[in-house]
Amino acid sequence: MSGTGDVLGLLPEAYWHVPYRGDRHPGSAHVTARPGLRLGANCQLYAYAVLGHFGVTVPPLRSSELWTDTSATHRVPVPRPLDLVLFNATRDAYGAHVGVWAGPDAVLHLCAEVGVPVVWRREEFARRERYAVCLGTKRPRL
């Protein structure tokens, strides 16, 4: 994948209509009983499903687990398409928001504020207190 168009253009239409549901996160009973995105997802579940669509598997880690993980992912200084980007109000990874780097200054994510998947530039995250701090980028190990 080389650019934004690759990731976003190859994403099935259904991935653009996933409703935000904070209770549908990796490991939740809601997801275990009824997997998939049709019933909604939180940011992590959505990001992992996007990666899965492109054949990239990440364990069902919550944001703080994802940030400290070194077996399935590793931190990288410069993102490339299909890397995971974490944002929060502070440098604490607990409860951090997770998005998928889609290309030059484009992060695909699902948040309660919008309610469906959207693509924001980093400055759009920085303008919001809850996402003002970019913790960094994690690349899945292939």
Span 51-78, pLDDT tens digits: 999 999 999 999 999 999 999 999 999 9
Q: The pTM is what?
A: 0.93
Q: What is the pLDDT of residue 28?
A: 85
Domain hosting 34: range is 4-140
Q: What is the mean pLDDT of each run of 10 residues along the chain (142 residues)?
A: 73 96 88 83 96 94 96 97 98 97 96 97 97 98 86
CATH number at residue 53: 3.90.1720.10
Q: From CA 101, how far away is CA 1, in angstroms rounded? A: 11
Q: What confidence score (pLDDT) does residue 33 get?
A: 72
Q: What is the pLDDT of residue 42?
A: 95
What pLDDT score was predicted for residue 32? Answer: 76
pLDDT of residue 36: 84
- Domain count of the fold of the chain: 1
Please give the pLDDT value at position 87.
98
Q: What is the pLDDT of residue 4?
A: 54
